[in-house]
A and B are shown apart, each in its own frame.
Chain A
Amino acid sequence: MTTTSSQSVLLATSESSLPRQPKRAEPPVSSGVIGMLLFMVTEVMFFGALISAYLVIRAGLDEWPPWGQPRLPIETTAINTLVLLVSGFLMSYSRNLFKKKNISEGRKWFGYSILLGTFFFISQGYEWAQLIKFGLTVSSSVYGGLFYLIIGAHGFHVIGTLAFLIYAWNRLGAPVNPITSEEIFPVQLLWYFVVCVWPVLYVLVYLD
């Protein structure tokens, strides 16, 4: 039990209890889901605080964005947003297939969802490179700082969740020690979260 990587515990859903008599009843909501829901509460508060910071700092300045700072690429990011949303839908589609016990088909769509997520991440990275070239850096103004803070925090979540998703995808059909489609549901939940906060951040940071 000590040979595994420590991350895989996040994927776990089953009890660690020993199967002795008398038996404990199967819990109505699996531990993994409860754990992930609680974690998501923390995450929502984290992003809530970042949004608050943005609103407060923005309200304190007269000119927004401050003079001399490049404008953000609204259109390309809109396409990117769409890509991420589609990825989220594919994820829930694969979850539906898993529920119908259609594992191999579900795994395929799960994979496509990961691909779209990766595309989102890469094109965001490209966008950052462009913005830095145009002179928007963390320290160039509080505007730049907020941009990199908020979008960076989200990007960090994207890459982290993608890592878990790829791990889960890999293990799903593995010949040895496979994990069940139920066990990866918590990570899927996390992906829903990552997808769902993005439009909020997009409207806040890019459009507003």
Chain B
Amino acid sequence: MALFLQFIIVLSFSLFPRIVEACAVCFSGKEESLEAFYLTTVLLTLLPLVMLSLIGYWLYRQYRKEENVS
């Protein structure tokens, strides 16, 4: 348990990193820019997963019915 706690504490340091700006041409690093990137990252990641699982589930149900009937 103690080991686990140590692990969690050390891991939590990674939540407070120093911002590194490696890219020489980027003007960002602005807080709004970072937030916009967060938001769009989440948006683009979730969109396909949500859409595909909805469509997939719907199709699966339609075809399941069919297979059970026949």
Q: Which of A40-48, A86-94, A120-128, A129-137 forms contacts with chain B?
A: A40-48
Which B residues form the contact surface with A (CB < 8 A)? 27-28, 30, 32-33, 35-37, 39-40, 43-44, 47-48, 51-52, 55, 59, 62-63, 65-66, 70
Also in contact, A52 and B55, with CB within 8 A (given A58-B36, A60-B27): no
Is there contact, CB below 8 Å, between A55 and B51? Answer: no
Which of A28-69 touch B at CB < 8 Å? 28-29, 34, 37-38, 41, 44-45, 48-49, 51-52, 55-56, 58-60
* A28 CA to B27 CA, complexed, in Å: 53
User: What's the tally of chain A residues with a CB closer than 8 Å to chain B?
Assistant: 19
The number of A-B residue pairs with CB atoms under 8 Å apart is 50
Nearest CB on B from A16, distance (A): 19
A interface list, Cβ under 8 A from B: 25, 27-29, 34, 37-38, 41, 44-45, 48-49, 51-52, 55-56, 58-60
Closest Cβ of chain B: how far from A69's Cβ, in Å? 20
Q: Is the CB of A49 within 8 A of B44?
A: yes
A25–B35 Cα distance when bound, in Å, is: 51
